[in-house]
Amino acid sequence: MASLVLFLILLVAAMSTPAAHCHGNVGFKLKLTHVDAGTSYTKVQLLRRAVARSKARVAALQAVAAVADPVAAARVLVTASTGEYLVGLAIGTPPLYYTAIMDTGSDLIWTQCAPCLLCADQPAPYFDAKASATYRALPCRSPRCGQLYYPACFQRVCVYQYYYGDTASTAGVLANETFTFGAGNSTKVRVPNVSFGCGSINAGDLANSSGMVGFGRGPLSLVSQLGPSRFSYCLTSYLSPTPSRLYFGAFANLNSTNTSSSSGSPVQSTPFVVNPALPSMYFLSLRGISLGTRRLPIDPLAFAINDDGTGGVVIDSGTSITWLQQDAYEAVRRGLLSAIPLPAMNDTDIGLDTCFQWPPPPNVTVTVPDFVFHFDGANMTLPPENYMLIASTTGYLCLAMVPSGVGTIIGNYQQQNLHILYDIANSLLSFVPAPCDII
Ligand SMILES: *[C@@H]1O[C@H](CO)[C@@H](O)[C@H](O)[C@H]1NC(C)=O
Ligand SMILES: *[C@@H]1O[C@H](CO)[C@@H](O)[C@H](O)[C@H]1NC(C)=O
Ligand SMILES: *[C@@H]1O[C@H](CO)[C@@H](O)[C@H](O)[C@H]1NC(C)=O
Ligand SMILES: *[C@@H]1O[C@H](CO)[C@@H](O)[C@H](O)[C@H]1NC(C)=O
Ligand SMILES: *[C@@H]1O[C@H](CO)[C@@H](O)[C@H](O)[C@H]1NC(C)=O
Ligand SMILES: *[C@@H]1O[C@H](CO)[C@@H](O)[C@H](O)[C@H]1NC(C)=O
Ligand SMILES: *[C@@H]1O[C@H](CO)[C@@H](O)[C@H](O)[C@H]1NC(C)=O
Ligand SMILES: *[C@@H]1O[C@H](CO)[C@@H](O)[C@H](O)[C@H]1NC(C)=O
Ligand SMILES: *[C@@H]1O[C@H](CO)[C@@H](O)[C@H](O)[C@H]1NC(C)=O
């Protein structure tokens, strides 16, 4: 009888752990470290590096757009290997701490595993599955294996292979492990059975980190595997020494940081749009752009997703400078040239071509207007410091955006001091201005 009761308790316990969302309400907050934090680059080098990384990421997008077949394109994930922000986490039992690139453009969580057939240098030791008590390679028939782009089977174990649009790639075994998130006693959270890629054949640049953590919309991303499936971040001012913050699951809440009261602006929300060719990326519906109160003449088709999956508007944490669709860029450039009564310049050093001589002469008054993205149901108003920058060698005031022949990617320079919530369950992006250095 006692054993029957025990059996029933075990059965109930097993049933009360839903298979699809076995992790329940997980929440934590993490520091986001900028890839260039702690380096000795000068301001101008930092900006030049940011623009170069941004170009590399768009080159990856172009590589995907060049694949005519949208089904094939979906298999080449859009993201460059080098991201912009790193998160700290730990894998296994006992936990091995490491940093990884946070990537809102892809899904898989992966790290390099020993023994490595081909691995990049990384600051942490390679993860050794044999040394962890909680490592479980997934069988080929496991549902998680079926969620891979390229599921494959080797010696009855699920193997994966991911390409990142540029030369970066990772391949290895799909496995379950216990991950640890957060630092300090109060926020440390151990989560069992997180499926991840144990990569033994990897190529590309990991930006002095030891792997990647996918924050995309697909089923294998960290945010989809843990519940509730939402996250938010608050990016501090560019070049600020204060690290940015990432809030996860139950902690991701624009209310809890009380940002609306501190900024006085209401929280705004706009729905995500699905691009079937790139289902894990966060596409938005952008209707237009204003400079100040002046709506720019831009055909809304400039922001549309094309039938072949190219085009559209993505919000991304891993791109620094915004890539604006060519026609929209030209309209913004013309708008700025007429709004700012200063000689136009071309900063070939940093690679930005809508610039002005700066500072203005004493007899000229310059008012740089706000920049407004008009999304479906929400206006994102960027003050000048979120879309203009002072190029340090020339001292010019430059538009921190570059023209794109493919689609629009809203980069993290434009997201400074906004608290941005990615609510996957409700398919909504919400945001509110916030002093991210303080909260
Ligand atoms: C963390 O826990 C340890 C041991 O329980 C304690 O000594 C330490 O003060 C705690 N640290 C914080 C920041 O709470
Ligand atoms: C992980 O999943 C396996 C298989 O479903 C299960 O037996 C095990 O109890 C789970 N581990 C934890 C710690 O939940
Ligand atoms: C891996 O984790 C998933 C999600 O928690 C679980 O459904 C599955 O049973 C686990 N598999 C193994 C082999 O632990
Ligand atoms: C990589 O990061 C470590 C600390 O995490 C640092 O000591 C080292 O200098 C960095 N290396 C490079 C090449 O940036
Ligand atoms: C924020 O607060 C409002 C009103 O108090 C509530 O309706 C809304 O659901 C909250 N949002 C979140 C993400 O908790
Ligand atoms: C938000 O901030 C305002 C003003 O600082 C304060 O009065 C209010 O109590 C705060 N609300 C919460 C939920 O913390
Ligand atoms: C800026 O300079 C680059 C490189 O010389 C050139 O390709 C580009 O057309 C110039 N842009 C403008 C607006 O003059
Ligand atoms: C400002 O002063 C300069 C030199 O004194 C002169 O050439 C220019 O026309 C003036 N501009 C305006 C807008 O008055
Ligand atoms: C966004 O701005 C436009 C133009 O200023 C205005 O007509 C519209 O009502 C605003 N939408 C929201 C959601 O505030």
Write the pLDDT tens digit of every residue in 319-349.
888 999 999 999 999 999 999 999 999 988 8
Coil, helix or strand for 127?
strand
pLDDT band at 165 (very low <50, low <70, confident <90, very high): low
Sign, Cα dihedral of 351, 355, 360, 361: positive
Ligand 8 in reach of 362 Cβ (< 6 A): no
107 a catalytic residue: no
Give the pLDDT confidence score for residue 40 in this predicted structure: 74
Ligand 5 in reach of 242 Cβ (< 6 A): no
- The rounded Å distance from CA 91 to ligand 3 centre is 16
205 a catalytic residue: no
- The rounded Å distance from CA 104 to ligand 3 centre is 24
Closest Cα to atom 12, ligand 5: which residue?
253
Closest Cα to atom 8, ligand 1: which residue?
185
Distance of CA 222 to the CA centre of its chain: 12
What's the whole-model pTM score?
Answer: 0.85
Closest Cα to atom 10, ligand 1: which residue?
185
Give the pLDDT confidence score for residue 207 in this predicted structure: 78
pLDDT band at 135 (very low <50, low <70, confident <90, very high): very high
- The rounded Å distance from CA 237 to ligand 4 centre is 23
Q: Which of 103, 107, 166, 347 is catalytic?
A: 103
**And the tokens for 94?**
């006992």
**Is the predicted pLDDT of residue 78 greater than 70, yes or no?**
no
Q: Which of 36, 166, 316, 347 is catalytic?
A: 316
Give the pLDDT confidence score for residue 166 in this predicted structure: 62
Give the pLDDT confidence score for residue 338 in this predicted structure: 96
pLDDT per residue as tens digits for the range 295-306: 999 999 999 998
Q: CB under 6 Å to ligand 7: residues? A: 346, 348, 353
Mean of the pLDDT values across residues 269-274? 97
Among the residue ranges 255-259, 279-283, 391-395, the one predicted with the least confidence is: 255-259
d(CA 375, CA 370): 16
Percent of the chain residues past pLDDT 90, beyond the cut: 51
pLDDT band at 60 (very low <50, low <70, confident <90, very high): low
**Is the predicted pLDDT of residue 210 greater than 60, yes or no?**
yes
Question: In order of start, what are the domains of the chain with their CATH numbers?
Answer: 2-35+82-249 (2.40.70.10), 267-433 (2.40.70.10)
Give the helix, strand, coil percentages of the chain, each rounded to 5: 20, 40, 40
Q: Report the candidate in 249, 232, 212, 21 with the shortest Cα–Cα distance to residue 98.
A: 212
